[in-house]
Amino acid sequence: MIFKSTFIVLFFLFTMTQISAQSGVETMLEKAEQLMDEKDELAALEAYLDVLEEDPENYDALWNASLLHSSIGYRYENKNTRKEYYERAQHLAQKALDFHEDRVHPYYVMAVAKGRMADLVGVRKRIVLAHSIEDYVIKALDIMPDHAPSWHLYGVWQSEVANVRRAERIAARFISSGLPDGSNDKAEEYLKKAMEIDPESILIRLDLARHFIKTGREERAIPILEDLLALEPNVKDDTKHLQDAKKYLADLRE
């Protein structure tokens, strides 16, 4: 009887500890989300990392921490610093994939991290990464066909690959995988699809306008930029995106 009572007490204490720990994790996640709303990405990243100290497999903390490493790292001018951030982003994305291979965000943030890293490497490595990025984006869209960020990323990817520099096209001939297929029509289609799903995104509209400018269709970029400038900033970089849009529009109207 004494043994049974002791077991019940220990079980109760264990259960309460688990509930308390989970409650603490939820509180930290709420704090991280609030910091994101306040556009304090560095503090939000620290909050997500704190969650991972308590719960290393936490889905929201893993993919958000990965994405924040890619976003924050991109703002550094020093290439070594950027590379460190992108490597951490890939590491966290891989952990998210290890624990949550059936969810959309791990594939998306891995594609983002590899896309950022592609800016820092040579032609051969960049071509290899291009194939990998497409694989992860396609997997993300297989899981969630209406995931706007993935359509956005895939549209930008199509635009970049379709308009790759001649030197890279030549180099691709000597790589077994070759240059992946990219299409300006698909770039437009995918960016417009992303815009339909998320009409309030400033960056999606800006990248669609950039695609039109890149492909010599400046007149089609103008109304996109005009509509974009009527939107309110939602994320940290939106203020800069609006400034870029104003400059593009002023240049196109000259």
Do residues 204 and 241 make contact, with C-beta atoms less than 8 angstroms apart? no
Q: How far is CA 204 from the centre of its chain?
A: 12
| Domains by residue range for the chain, with CATH | 22-200 (1.25.40.10), 201-254 (1.20.58)
Task: State the average pLDDT over residues 64-93.
Answer: 97
Task: Work out the pLDDT band at 186, boundaries 50, 70, 90.
Answer: very high
What is the chain's mean pLDDT, rounded? 90
pLDDT (tens digit per residue) in 135-150: 999 999 999 999 999 9
Task: Work out the pLDDT band at 254, boundaries 50, 70, 90.
Answer: confident
Closest CA to 150 of 127, 133, 129: 133
**Lowest mean per-residue pLDDT among 1-5, 45-49, 65-69:** 1-5
**CA of 112: how far to CAs of 70, 161, 164, 211, 231, in Å?**
7, 15, 19, 19, 24
Task: State the average pLDDT over residues 156-164.
Answer: 94
Q: What secondary structure letter does DSSP report for 40?
A: -
Tokens in use for 161? 């690959």
pLDDT (tens digit per residue) in 187-204: 999 999 999 999 999 999
Task: State the average pLDDT over residues 62-85.
Answer: 97
Q: What is the pLDDT of residue 222?
A: 97
- The four Cα atoms 85, 112, 241, 32 give a dihedral, to 10 degrees, of -60
Q: For 25, how many CA atoms within 13 A lie in the half-sphere containing its CB?
A: 18
Q: For 75, how many CA atoms within 13 A lie in the half-sphere containing its CB?
A: 9
pLDDT (tens digit per residue) in 14-60: 444 444 446 688 999 999 999 999 999 999 999 999 999 999 999 99
CA distance 148 to 146: 6
Do residues 118 and 136 make contact, with C-beta atoms less than 8 angstroms apart? no
What single-letter amino acid sits at 253? R
Q: Is the pLDDT confidence value at 152 over 60?
A: yes
Task: State the average pLDDT over residues 214-242.
Answer: 96
Q: What is the pLDDT of residue 165?
A: 72
Q: What is the pLDDT of residue 15?
A: 45
CA distance 26 to 60: 10
Tokens in use for 195? 């815009």
Look up tokens 């240059």; give the residue: 179
Tokens in use for 36? 């994101």
CA distance 175 to 186: 24
pLDDT (tens digit per residue) in 96-125: 999 999 999 999 999 999 999 999 998 889
| In the chain, % of residues over pLDDT 90 | 80
CA distance 17 to 1: 24
Q: For 188, how many CA atoms within 13 A lie in the half-sphere containing its CB?
A: 10
| In the chain, % of residues over pLDDT 70 | 86
Q: Is the pLDDT confidence value at 83 over 70?
A: yes
CA distance 77 to 58: 31
Q: Is the pLDDT confidence value at 233 over 80?
A: yes
pTM: 0.88
Q: What is the pLDDT of residue 13?
A: 39
